[in-house]
Chain A
Amino acid sequence: MRPRRSQSVFLLALIASALAPPRLVHDGAQTIEEDTLKAVYTYQLGKFTEWPAAKLISSEANLNFCILGKNPFGSSALDAIKNKRVQGRPLRIEIYPSGLLPNEAIATCHILFISESEKSRLRSILAQLRDSPVLTVSDIDNFAAQGGMIALVKLQEQVRFEINSMALRQSGLAVSSKLLELAKLVPDPRPGAPR
């Protein structure tokens, strides 16, 4: 028996909606693609972060937004943050392949977005970055609870934050109270980390 036309249309719509990138509510009723929202939020986190003076001097005039692992941001997400400025510095996007971050990148990256593809290596990546003034951000589950600094968490069709303030402090970074009041604070689980 051949499927009826209405059944085919419904099936096609179902497949299309499954393949479409997830969208989140933003700016009231407007929706935006999840990766774009995460890219914009990650770049905006830089506006609420204070890096040690030495870190800002060592990396010339740019503010480096680094992505480690499989790039989760589509072209429209990257376009949304292209040509933006953070604390008066032009934002530069750098993408690093899976694995540990090269040492020179640790010195130049200000914000590091750790992709979901690095989930299995997360512990070693965070151990490598320990005490380095690099703002680590990710949407990996329990990222902040595993020692990352800021986790992007999907909550009721919106993106919210979990912040590990101890990890931030140990790296010499400070985030604004305006950001802290929007976030859920999580304790640092690493052995020896002060509470």
Chain B
Amino acid sequence: MRAFRDLRITHKLMIIMMLTSSVAVLIMAIAMVINQAVKESRTIANQLETLAQIIGSRSTGALAFDDQRTAEENLHALSAKSIIVYAVIHKANGRIFAEYRTSKAWPDPVSFWVFANEIEVAKDIVLDGERVGRIRIVKLVAESHGGQVQARDLEAKEGVIFTVILPTL
């Protein structure tokens, strides 16, 4: 603090201005990352909702005629998306009708600062205007590649932002 006091007024002003602008850029960067994370979560949730809608609609026959095997086959189509870890179809009375769990290793929770490590959507399954069941799909935000848990696009975006910020400080 004494060193700062002994500085010339022009240097003091320069340091204060630099600190102020750095803090402003940092806040802006954090806001951008948060905004990106929120957008990313919304996009993933929208994609999951569409998927839930498609699989739910395909399963109306299975629900109406109590064909558990077909419902399980429909859910199994989700195995093409490695990041979907769990999906379930409930009957209208709440009973579990068909379930899918990924056979791949479930990645450990990531201590990444995204708001949630997993995203879950649930949608009613409607047949001819009548609710016949409900589908729930759970997807991880992080994806497992060869045993390594990697935060996806978001981490890359964060890296880009901080690469841009650091030289300005």
Question: Which residues of chain A have a CB within 8 Å of any CB of chain B?
Answer: 26-28, 41, 44, 47-48, 85-88, 158-161, 176, 178-179, 181-182
Chain A residues, CB < 8 A from B70: 181-182
* CB nearest to B70 among chain A residues: A182
Chain B residues, CB < 8 A from A85: 128-129
Chain B residues, CB < 8 A from A48: 61, 64
Chain A residues, CB < 8 A from B64: 44, 47-48
Question: Which residues of chain B have a CB within 8 Å of any CB of chain A?
Answer: 58, 60-62, 64-67, 70, 91, 93, 95, 97, 127-129
Contact B58 A182 (CB under 8 A): no
* Contact flag A179-B61 (CB < 8 Å), given A27-B66, A28-B95, A158-B66: yes
Partner of A182, one of B65, B95, B97, B129: B65
Chain A residues, CB < 8 A from B58: 178
Cross-chain pairs A/B with CB under 8 angstroms, 14 sampled: A26-B66, A27-B95, A41-B65, A44-B65, A47-B128, A88-B128, A158-B66, A160-B67, A161-B65, A176-B61, A178-B60, A178-B61, A179-B65, A181-B70
* CB nearest to B130 among chain A residues: A85
Chain B residues, CB < 8 A from A41: 65
Complex A-B, nearest 8 residue pairs according to Cβ-Cβ distance, in ascending order:
A178-B61, A47-B128, A44-B64, A182-B67, A179-B61, A182-B61, A26-B66, A182-B65
Q: How many angstroms between the C-alpha atoms of A48 and B62 in the bound complex?
A: 12
A63 to chain B, nearest CB (A): 11
Partner of B129, one of A26, A27, A88: A88
Partner of A181, one of B61, B95, B97: B61
Q: How many angstroms between the C-alpha atoms of A158 and B68 in the bound complex?
A: 11
A134 to chain B, nearest CB (A): 20
Of B65, B67, B93, B127, which is in contact with the most chain A CB atoms at under 10 Å from its CB?
B65
Partner of B128, one of A87, A159, A179, A182: A87
Chain A residues, CB < 8 A from B62: 178, 182
Q: How many angstroms between the C-alpha atoms of A34 and B65 in the bound complex?
A: 13
* CB nearest to B66 among chain A residues: A26
Q: How many angstroms between the C-alpha atoms of A182 and B129 in the bound complex?
A: 21
Q: Given A86-B128, A181-B61, list of 5 further CB < 8 A pairs?
A: A27-B95, A47-B127, A85-B129, A182-B65, A182-B67
Chain A residues, CB < 8 A from B91: 27
Q: How many angstroms between the C-alpha atoms of A178 and B129 in the bound complex?
A: 16
Q: How many angstroms between the C-alpha atoms of A85 and B130 in the bound complex?
A: 9
Chain B residues, CB < 8 A from A178: 58, 60-62
